[in-house]
Structure formats: C-alpha cells, structure tokens
Structure 1
Amino acid sequence: MPSLPIIVLRDIRFTESHGVREGERSHSQWIAVDLELTPLMDQTLVTDNLVDTIDYAQVASRVHSIGTHRTFHRLEALAREIRDTLLAEFAISSVSLFVRKLAPPIPTIHDCIGVRLIGTRDMACGSHASPHVPSLEPARFLIEQQHRFRQGRILDLAAGYGRHTLYLAQRGCSVVAIDRDPEALKTIAERARQQSLDAITVRQQDLEQHAVVNPEMFGKETFDGIIVFFYLYRPLFPALITALKPGGILLYETFLIDNHLRRHHPRRKEFCLDHNELLSLVGELRIVHYDEGEHVIQGDDQTAFTARLVAEKPVPSGDDTP
C-alpha cells in the first residue's frame, strides 16, 4: 500500500502585533508559518478531484485569519491555535508546524524566533491527549456555572470527545452524552472506564436527521440540566425544553454572527446566532443569565464572540419540586 503524501505549505506570512513585551505589541511584526499536513485518507493518490483532498488555499487562508484576527501574547499559544483549528476543520490526521517571528526586536537575534509543534487526531481526541489541547479542557462558562447542577442528571448534547461529560461526572453528576460520532463516544466510554466514572451513559444519535423533530426525542422532564456548547440546530430547542424537569437548567454557549464576520469561523453563517436570537429560541424558560460579546472560552487566551445563556424551566404553581 503506498504511503500517504505529506502536503507542505511554506512561508505563510502575515503581520500582527503579537508578543509578551509592550514593545513587541506596539508595532506590527512579520510572522511566518510552515506546515506539513498528512491527509486522513489516501484519496489524494487516486483522484484529482479537489473535494477528495485538502484545499491548500483554504488552509493558508485559515492560518492567515487566525494570525490577523486575534492577538496572542506568546507564539506557543498562536501555534497551538493553528494546530487545533486545522485538525478540527480539515481532513488531516497530523500536522507539523513552525511558527516564527521574523526579525524580532532583540539585537542579538538576526534571523527569527520560532516554535515547532506537532499534533495528531489521536493527541487531540484520544485518551492520552496533552493537557494543553483545548478539546480536553472544559469551556470557561461551564466551569463558572457548574454549581447550578447540584449533582443531578445532565444531558450533554453534541458531546464530542467528552470534555464536559467527564468534567461533570467527576463532580458527581450523572451524565448522558449524545453525539453522532461513534468513535467520539467510544473515547468517552474508555475515558470513563479509566477514571472509574460509572455515571456516564453514551448514546449515538444523528441530531439533524429530521427537519421536524420529535418534541420528546430526549424524553419528557428527564433531565435536571442540559448543556450545549458550540453546536446549533434550531429545530431541537422544543425537545430540549420538553426534556428539562421543572426547575431544570439549560446552559448554552455558541458562536455569534460576529465571530463569522470578524474571524471567518464558523465558515457557514447559519451555524451562528444572530443577536438576541438565543433568547427567542428558549421560549418559556426563565432567563437567569444572558450576555453576548467576546469571551474567553478556554484557557487564558482563547476567545470567541459568543452568546451565553443560563435559563431555568419554571416550576408549576403549587409544585414543591426543589
């Protein structure tokens, strides 16, 4: 079987005011990025169709967008963001990158300062992932709001590789993780086994299979809490509301249209919320917290324009449900 090709992109350049020192951030500097990408499959060897391989121009444009639409204090953070974005958005199994600052304002350095970094899908999604990979770190908003769930039964919708499922289970919640990806769910189950977390249930489900959604697809008054992060399929909202117990909490954060317009992510604007749209989608729920804007979503320096909501399902009058 022939080996997979390595796709090489050299010297993607942009100017930006990245740096730790004030002097570095006070004026634009040239940043250059070299990439080596391994495609997921060997279609590049048997077809000349662009849809079967990786669009080099899109990759270069995405790197340029990350570099010019965000500010990083450290090259390491910029390199991690490029690595994780490319692994998430393109059909590649691994990436090797060299991010460097050309002609840095340091008299004794005459060429560049740079960071070399590698990443694979196994690293980003597997059970031995680096603690610095954002896909394993809970969203900042969940960390701030997790006290609201009081160790109840939680639905993690579009759970991915389980960063939120595991986080809540470690804190005493019983969590049902739903996702369309069977490999992601296998990873959650394996991590749960390794950590002796018995209160995790995984369920494979194509959430977008039907344009008209069964309002009881997640059950009726089944969950004390529902969390949804960076996923949006508008027809699901009635089912989410139905699935909440009286007094149950919906915690939701996803991209605003601002992120698409300013940072070109997500690439399709229908995956983003309009301003105040989330308020109209939650219907009868009582708004406990709502805000829009640029938020830190992971770590110390990963930001996005998001809408964040905490909403509670009203308890019927005369119902003493705690």
Structure 2
Amino acid sequence: MLTALLRTLDPETAHGLAIGGLKHAPWPAALPDDPILRTTLAGLDLPNPIGLAAGLDKNAEALHGLARLGFGFVEAGSVTPRPQQGNPKPRLFRLSEDRAIINRMGFNNEGLEAFADNLSRRPQGVVVGANLGANKDTEDRAADYVAGLHHLAGLSDYFTVNISSPNTPGLRALQGRDALDDLLGRVAQARTTPAPVFLKIAPDLTPDEIAMIVEAALAHRIDALIVSNTTLDRPASLRSRDRAEAGGLSGAPLKEKAHKALIHAAEAAKGRLPLIAVGGIDSGAEAYRRIRAGASAVQIYSALIYGGPGLVGRIKRDLAARLRAGGFASVAEAAANPVLTER
C-alpha cells in the first residue's frame, strides 16, 4: 500500500519520503536468514548475499531502517568530499511501464562530514559500505577518492570507488588504463585499514575494456568488482513517456546488458577477483542466475521501487530454494563454477 502511494508522487519527493520513513518508522526486524544463504565477500561475513546498491541512502542517514529490511549488506552514498546540490531538477524519472528509472542526480549529497557523522551512529550487526565519488568541479578526482578513504577510515566496513556514474562529466574517463592506474595506485597507497575496497564499473564497456579493468584491479589489490552501474543506452523496447530523458537507465531493461557484462568480467577474472552483480535484479530467479554466472553477491535498488521492501525477503526465500534445488550447499559453491553463457 505504501509503495503504491509513493509511486503516485513525484519521484524525488517519493524518494525523500522513503528515506524519512526508513529513518523514523518503527520497522520490525527481518526474520533470521536461511543458513544456506550465509556467505563471505572479500573477507566480509554476510548473513545473505542480497545487498542494497548505492543511491538510495546517499548520506547514510537511514541505516537503522535499512538494516531491518533483511539485506546482507548495505551500501550508502555516493558521497563526495564537499557537499554538492547535484544537477538541476527534474533529474529523476520513473518509467513505470518498463519497471525502470532514469536518473541524472549528479552525486547530490551532504559531503563527507555529514556522512561520517551518520556512520558514527550506524547500527551494529549489519555490513555497511561507503560508495565514494568525486566532486563535479574538483581538479584532482583521484584526490577526492583518497579523501573519502581517509575521512571514513574505521567507520565503514568496505569502500566502493565509483568511477562509472554517467552523471558527472568526465568521470567515466577514469575507466581508461592510464587514468585507472593513477587512481588505483593512489587508492592503494591511501589504504590505512583492512576494510576491502571495491571498484564499480559501467555496463557500457566492451569485453576487452572489462578485461583490462580486471587486470588493473588485480594489479592494485582491489578486493572486488561491482558489475555494473546504470547505462546510457536506450533499448528500443522502452515504452514510458520519459524514456528519452538524459541520465543513467536502471531497472528491468538493464537486466541482459548487466548480465553480459558480468559474464565478461567472470571470463576475465577466472576466479581471481570476487564479483558483485547489479542491474535489473528483481527476483530470486535473477539473483540465482547472476550467482551461477560467477557473482559472489548481488545488489538491488530500482526493483525496490516497484516491489516494495518485502522484495528482499521474497528474493532470499526463492534463492534459498533454488540453491537447494540445484544441489548446492552454499552461495559460494554455486558461484564457483560459473555458467558463462548469455542466457
């Protein structure tokens, strides 16, 4: 009922109300997870492999509510060193007929100071990650990521270096080898805690570009690759009125593109680098499909807008059943020998 009501409102207004509800409403705790779902990711102990992708809780202000929805891990952000307003409104579009979202938010957030303050009051018992971005007007983007690592050291269980948002001009250029080597080299030098560092890439890369990024990530001790962010593509199948709006497309239409990118990453990684699948995951069947394609864990976001908070529990129940039906004793076992086909 609440999810349906929020969908009648302007998308950014609905987002703000959802964050407020997660901050203040007395959400009941999720039921204990099926033991078959417990897994590890880059040394992190997860009760289940279903994570929240960055973008919902940009300022890490609703972690207590999110922790009670049943996620195995929660990623907050993206956060930039200095507060920024992001791009002009409107900048968030709900493509209901396509079960999709287009956003051009532009890393709107309150900055590292506010983010760190919120993390200092984070709930216990849930793995929380910080998704790091760069300010739009910064002259040294790598320095912004280093600032995030330094400022949030000891407060976040892991960090994600987000170089794949399409809404900050020039950011995706950091996925080129020279810029990537410079960035990841400086990130490696800045690491002062055992917290793992992940790298989030775009789905619009070629197989060769993905393979290059995998090798760069391994060379610079990145702990996992998140595959992938939103896409700039606009599939011909889109039906919604706002389908031509500029920004990153997420949700159901991204499903096949993100799955193919995961396959290419798994082919390149050959088990040397944990992979986290994102993009169009909206069911236990799709979570299982990505895990069988080599993902150690998955993340969701856009599907919550259409499926509501109960989606997390439904995915977990179905995933547990599919793991058992497939003869697997764990998530790790299901991911260990990936099925590297596109269907």
TM-score by length of 1: 0.33
Is the radius of gyration larger for structure 1 or structure 2? 1
| Structure holding more strand per residue | 1
Relative contact order (alpha carbons < 8 A, sep ≥ 6): 1 or 2 greater? 2
